[in-house]
A and B are shown apart, each in its own frame.
Chain A
């Protein structure tokens, strides 16, 4: 009886999760049939475990947060399901052999983190008080990484913290900290700013209270770009800030100013740093470098072309030919084996996520929560846009993960924190 009433309380979520279960079942069967080198029992068990974890999370929400959004969790579940199927399928390649098992562990940890976030952050307003702590922690984290970090790809850019074989990417935590800071800051200053204006001759500029953080963000982005060669994160942080500034101020002119400032930064970086120039060159002329720097991009394009419209079928393509196929290039793995159809569906899922996140923002009661929701949603949406755009060569390739699909612990955990916060904001008791 109790279960039936719970299913009624979150009926949409419950039914959507059944679809996710069906995808896992069909995908699992195809993997087992098409990839003989996979251990069938092991594969089926881990997919069943993933489904069980989401069922548990849904049950938890029914008790703890029955009015929370019902679309978010199933969308995330489906993205992680497609991701895990691709990663498991890639585990036949020796390089990725261990990643599927680890990904399952990270997913389990992620869902625990999701539930912990919802339990520990019952009142989001308390986060406001820690805005400068969040900002300071963020800057220390990034400076610390530049100074003490390691590069697990063996290059000169330190983006990871190593700890006994577990590598951790601080940028992922930074996303959440930055959103908390901006939301609290813009919320605090919003009232004064809705009327004040800073004029420079005929030019109407944002008031100085906006220019401060704008400048800091610009600096942070440039720091990431030059010392870590992390164009993706640079774009990400700037995008988050502009989205939140726009929502806080309700003025379109600030968007244009922000984009202008970013372009100035990009031109400066292009002039000053050879690795930025090189990156643009690879983007524009990938075939010239097809056997060295652009190998990845070119192999990704070949994989997508090979997949065509319907795809080669799960387990029937060669996604392992693309370097880092299970992280930055997971979209090409999906595009190859599930085809344009599957790739478009993945983009559709991200679109639905963005729409739903902004709806949560629009319905939020408190301006701080609204800004949080906008920031958190744009974080994941921009990330998806930037990496898929890079995979498809619509923009220079940047090393960010595809949220919920790429292999990687820090990314998954941070993203589940984001989902926990969004669910929390969406619940109106």
Chain B
């Protein structure tokens, strides 16, 4: 084998090594993604009564004294607001006295805006009137961020 061929092989090897490196990196990143992915919210063919019990999980507490990760089991209906009679008392300047109502009907849970001054965001867009909720939805109430989770 002539020397020129060896040089050629090494030239190819050099670029091939770059791609081998990239392939390794992609493999690592793929594995990381698999680990980081959340488990599916509902298992198919689970309980017959399709998710009538649900909870709210605090994602970020804003001004309130809640802890991130804290959970609230929902009653039907559940009222959120700043007034003491609320089911979940949200002590935040951006929250109205009666801010938001969560209801469970025949079609499942829904969120109802109670004409709150600063409104509620459902998955980032303004909640208007009553809108259906699905497990995993994000609610922004004032500076509080909540996740709605159906039990299964």
Contact = CB atoms under 8 A, between A and B. Distances in A.
Interface string B1-32: 00000011011111101111110111011001
A311 B8 CA distance: 11
A348 interface: yes
Interface in A1-41: 12, 15-16, 19-20, 22-23, 26-27, 29-30, 33-34
Contact of A349 (B11, B22, B32, B63): B22
Given A70-B28, A352-B25, A19 B118 contact: no
Contacts of A23: 14, 17-18, 21
B124 interface: yes
Contacts of B32: 359
A16 B20 CA distance: 10
B37 interface: no
Contacts of B18: 23, 78, 82, 338, 341-342, 345-346, 348-349
A313 interface: yes
A19 B7 contact: no
A194 B140 contact: yes
A181 to B, nearest CB: 23
A355 B29 contact: yes
Contacts of B29: 71, 352, 355-356, 359
A269 to B, nearest CB: 35
Nearest to B119: A195
A338 B24 contact: no
Contact of A22 (B17, B26, B142): B17
Interface residues of B, number: 31
Interface in B27-70: 28-29, 32, 36, 62-63
Contacts of A195: 94, 118-119, 121, 140, 142
Interface in A348-369: 348-349, 352, 355-356, 359, 363
Contacts of A188: none
Given A33-B7, A195-B142, A355-B29, A348 B15 contact: no
B21 A250 contact: no
B21 A194 contact: no
B36 A30 contact: no
Interface string A177-192: 0000000000000010
Given A71-B28, A311-B11, A19 B17 contact: yes
Given A33-B7, A348-B22, A355-B29, A314 B143 contact: no
A16 B29 CA distance: 13
Interface string A47-85: 000000000000000000000001100110010001000
Interface in A303-336: 310-311, 313-314
Nearest to A191: B143
Nearest to B14: A26
A339 interface: yes
Given A16-B24, A26-B10, A311 B17 contact: no
A194 B143 contact: yes
Contacts of A311: 11, 15
Contacts of B28: 12, 16, 70-71
B62 A338 contact: no
Contacts of A34: 7
B10 to A, nearest CB: 6
A27 B17 CA distance: 10
Interface string B112-152: 00000011010010000000000000001011000000000
A23 B8 CA distance: 15
A19 B21 CA distance: 6
Contact of B20 (A19, A355, A359): A19
A345 B15 contact: yes
A313 B7 contact: yes
Interface string A149-186: 00000000000000000000000000000000000000
B127 to A, nearest CB: 12
B26 to A, nearest CB: 8
Nearest to B143: A191
A34 B11 CA distance: 11
A313 B142 contact: no
Interface of A: 12, 15-16, 19-20, 22-23, 26-27, 29-30, 33-34, 70-71, 74-75, 78, 82, 191, 194-195, 250, 310-311, 313-314, 338-339, 341-342, 345-346, 348-349, 352, 355-356, 359, 363
The 8 residue pairs across chains A and B that have the minimum distance between CB atoms? A345-B18, A19-B21, A313-B11, A341-B15, A26-B14, A191-B143, A195-B118, A348-B22
24 contacts: A23-B14, A23-B17, A23-B18, A26-B17, A27-B14, A29-B10, A30-B7, A34-B7, A71-B29, A74-B25, A78-B18, A191-B62, A191-B63, A194-B140, A195-B94, A195-B142, A313-B7, A338-B15, A341-B15, A341-B19, A342-B18, A345-B19, A348-B19, A363-B36
Given A16-B28, A19-B20, 15 more contacts: A16-B21, A19-B17, A22-B17, A26-B14, A30-B11, A75-B25, A78-B18, A191-B62, A195-B142, A314-B11, A339-B15, A341-B15, A345-B18, A348-B19, A348-B22
